[in-house]
């Protein structure tokens, strides 16, 4: 069972699997946010993002907002990936200590060390 304190009012509860682990200081918002069975979302902030089965998002911010921008780093030295609309953390991928914003049709793949994007 998912703790309602982790879900914003605009989250479609039917898109959040009860078999996912959502814990810590996690907060999810956005009508398009989905979390699949077996996914782990811990101490993270997600907005209009998809986390596929078996993917892990820990101590990270994954949001879709604003127009595409160039890549840079935040003050803490975390990677900031900018570039469009709907982030998708692929099955089995892990994102930790990162900030991913404005990703369009982008995914973090378990077979790649970096964020990848496609048009």
Separation CA 109–CA 27 (nearest Å): 23
Domain boundaries, the chain: 4-117
53-78 core/surface letters (b: 16 or more CB in 10 A; e: else): ebbbbbebbbbbeeeeeeeeeeeeee
pLDDT in tens, 6-38: 999 999 999 999 999 999 999 999 999 999 999
Structure-token match 């990848």, residue found? 116
Beta bridge partners of 32: none
| Average pLDDT of the chain to the nearest whole number | 78
CATH architecture of 4-117: 3 Solenoid (2.160)
Higher-scoring residue by pLDDT: 117, 28: 28
């Amino acid at each position: 069972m998912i703790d309602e304190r982790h879900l914003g009012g605009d989250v479609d509860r039917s898109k959040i699997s009860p078999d996912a682990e959502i814990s810590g200081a996690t907060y999810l918002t956005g009508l398009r946010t989905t979390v699949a069975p077996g996914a782990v979302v811990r101490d993270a902030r997600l907005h209009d993002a998809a986390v596929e089965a078996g993917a892990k998002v820990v101590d990270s911010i994954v949001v879709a907002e604003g127009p595409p921008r160039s890549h840079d780093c935040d003050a803490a030295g975390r990677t900031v990936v900018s570039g469009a609309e709907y982030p998708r953390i692929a099955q089995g991928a892990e994102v930790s200590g990162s900030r991913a914003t404005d990703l369009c049709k982008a995914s973090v793949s378990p077979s790649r060390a970096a964020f990848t994007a496609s048009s």
